[in-house]
Amino acid sequence: MELVRGLYNVRARHRGCVLTIGAFDGMHLGHQEMLRVLRERAREQGLPAVVLSFEPTPREFFARGTPPARLSRFREKVAALSSNGIDRFVCLRFNDTMRTMTRARFVDEVLVSALGTRHIVVGHDFRFARDNDGSVATLQNYGPKNGFGVTEVPKYEIDGERVSSSLIRIALANGDLRRARKFLGRPYRMTGKVIHGAKLGRTLGFPTANLRLHRRTTPVAGVFAVRVSGDGLDRAPGVASLGTRPAVNGTELLLEAHIFDFSADLYRQYLHVDFIERLRDEQWFPSVDDLVAQMHNDACRAREILAHH
């Protein structure tokens, strides 16, 4: 998959595509259905399947200092789009110029002039341009005179609920990982590079792989039963803590994963951590002995849970 960042990097060779637009945060089952339709239309027209997205997301831009936690960071989104058969990912900066762009100008400058869109695939509730006054009906109106068709994808529901990133965020914040998994079609996952830690876990008999997440906020926090993949590991069972480590007066957001019956060095490797079930909140302990006793209890519960997952 080709990644194109910024409208100024869009070249003449990028013109002519079947396009969809969205944040695609978390790549849930609704997103996967949208991309399936996109690939289908692209095959029919013999054109590249292209996703257009924005950084920061419009929701983050308008939230300013308190954006909602992302389900997936940018690197994870790129990997997910690539694995879903997308030919090109065009990522544009969302700023005041983009925010104030009228729907006519957005269609003319971005969809037609820059990308040469021949067909666009969007959800029934798609909105765009200044004050969100562009809709599917707008695209259907502009399409014929600008040389592109429009496919409206109906809402994707599971058990009567429309699947959305917001629903998944709420489920994760509530520690309801099963509900999140239902909408994602897989366990919730975070990816990070292993860094050197304080080695406290090793001295306590629980060596951990410490993953830097490059996130300001996280949709989940606490202690979890997990499965870890990457660098030769394939869904290896373990227990992980995600947060600022109040037990050792920590402040940096960190994911610490203890992989059962494993001791090899994973420094600088990228690992994928699948969250299977939430065990408890992070907490402070009055003594190291109390902390170690709780860690043994967490590991025991995680092993029992993972025996069935």
Write phi, then psi, for 286 (nearest 5 degrees): -70, -20
Pick the CATH number of 2-162 from 3.30.360.10, 3.30.70.20, 3.40.50.620, 3.90.1150.180: 3.40.50.620
Q: Do domains 2-162 and 187-306 have the same CATH topology?
A: no
At 262, which amino acid appears?
Answer: F
Query: Which SS3 state, helix, strand or coil, does residue 157 take?
Result: strand
239 forms beta bridges with 225, 258
CA atoms within 13 A on the CB side of 305: 20
What per-residue confidence (pLDDT) applies to 247?
A: 46
Task: Please choose, from the candidates 271, 299, 293, the residue with its C-alpha nearest in 3D space to the C-alpha of residue 191.
Answer: 271
Q: Which residues contact 220 (CB under 8 A, 6 or more apart)?
A: 172, 173, 175, 188, 242, 275, 278
Task: Answer whether 4's CB lies under 8 Å from 50's CB.
Answer: no
Which CATH number describes the domain made up of 187-306? 2.40.30.30
Task: Delimit the domains of the chain by residue range.
Answer: 2-162, 187-306
> For every one of its 309 residues, what pLDDT tens digit does the chain have, with 9 covering 90 and above?
999 999 999 998 899 999 999 999 999 999 999 999 999 999 999 999 999 999 999 989 988 777 789 999 999 999 999 999 999 999 999 999 999 999 999 999 999 999 999 999 999 999 999 999 999 999 999 999 999 999 999 999 999 999 999 999 999 999 999 999 999 999 999 999 999 876 665 666 788 999 988 787 889 999 999 999 999 999 999 999 998 765 444 567 889 999 999 988 899 999 999 999 999 998 888 888 888 899 999 999 999 999 998
- Please give the DSSP secondary-structure letter assigned to residue 267: T
Query: Quick one: angle between helices 165-173 and 177-184, nearest 10?
Result: 160
Query: How far is 30 from 20, CA to CA, in rounded Å?
Result: 13
Q: How far, rounded to the nearest angstrom, does the alpha carbon of residue 296 sit from its chain's CA centroid?
A: 31
Query: How far is 215 from 96, CA to CA, in rounded Å?
Result: 24
What per-residue confidence (pLDDT) applies to 226?
A: 98
At 186, which amino acid appears?
Answer: R
